[in-house]
Structure 1
Amino acid sequence: MNNVPAKSRKVKLEAPDGPVPHPELFELIKQWRNKKASESEVSHYMILHQKAIVEIVYHLPVSLAHLKELKGFGGRKVERYGEELIQLVKDYRAKYNIVVNDYLPVEKPAKTEKIDTKKVSYDLFRSGKTIDEIADERHVTTQTILNHLSHYVGLGELDILQFIDQDKVAELSRFFEENPSAHKGDAKAKFGETVTWADIQMVLKHIEHTKNTN
């Protein structure tokens, strides 16, 4: 039987940065979450945040009590989805013969230098990777990657036209110029499905950079 190294849990501590452990389980839980979201007709994050999935695959909880101790899991979420999530973990651990003493205290790992997650996305983009490739590699949404890159649009290190066409930039820029107190939600309400939240964020950063350089 294949053996997969088990990961120690860190009760009430956030899982460390770095590669996501147990990628097979990570994908299984993502698929479960997406199905639940589709059935309930809600956004994925309303079911389970990406960081909460990382917590599960890092700690591999097999009890509701353990699940409650993880970051991102309140009583209501555990009550609603806990049994199904625990079963997914149990099945995965059984498949790879992973045995962990769930209540064995562990020492805190040595602190690692904090990673600038925006810079990681930026470097990958500059290396030639696409938005989808970066999102897949980092196990986050394309929206998250675009938000990271918008930071560098605001710094003038990336050209907004790499992400949005000129007409859309002009339209959104004009809206915010004519409505200086408007928020992102106002722009989304105005333009609807013709723009994405990432488009709006990019244009706001572009406007910010333009103001700072004039």
Structure 2
Amino acid sequence: KNALDNMNREAAFKTACLEACHNGFVVKDYLNAQAKASVESPAKSARQKKAEEVAAELDHPEIYRRLKAWRDAKVAEMGGPVYRVLALRSIRELSDKLPITPTALKAIKGIGQKKLELFGDELLQIIIDFCEEKDFAGLALNEPEPEEKKPKVNSKLVSFDLWKSGKSITEIAKTRKYAESTIEGHLAHFVSTGEIDIEKLVSPDKVKRISEFFIREKMPLLSEAKAALGDNISYGELKFVLNYLRFKGMVDNS
């Protein structure tokens, strides 16, 4: 019998609330209908009593009741369990923090992107209306401004600019905390584009000897050139001349 009574009371309660929303959901009308239906019910359920006790413990019980009323109306409209619309713990947090921007609303536990899209506008309007009525500030978190992306540094160009300023390869490597071979690779790139004159990096005699080897052997391998030409020619010099020959089209670019 108790179960049947509870079902009848709940059905009558929901019917009265739905009728109040016949011409659209208005919080005040809904609350009035809810209050009237509660009075007409012979007794309140344990769940209703618990909800009222919770509301009484909050700093803003009125907004808690409005939000819960909205939630109950949504559940009646959409069907399904209440947590799919809004759990009570989320309503409590909303009542406590009073978010008035989408970012602040999304920070509430239980409100993800999907619920923000489905219910965000309605929830914000209820809370904003309440804050205006009571002259409360509300919580206004704004979207963080996107960090300005630093332009990607062209490392080769930095080394090239330092070299043009008069620094040696050793000095550039020390300044940039790179290996000398890395700086040589950077400058070799600009030899291959014709922006650096080969003779500013390698003596004419060495350019001639190294060029003759690469052209004759037709195998631009630095290790073989180093073994053939001896220790008085560095890998860096070989790299510079090889890129120079590629720029001139005198050896294969592979």
Name the TM tier (shorter chain).
Answer: 0.3 to 0.5
Looking at both structures, which has the greater relative contact order when contacts are Cα pairs under 8 Å and sequence separation is at least 6?
Answer: 1
Given the two structures, how large is their TM-score scaled by the length of structure 2? 0.39
The structure richer in helix per residue is 2
Task: Tell me which structure has the larger Cα radius of gyration.
Answer: 2
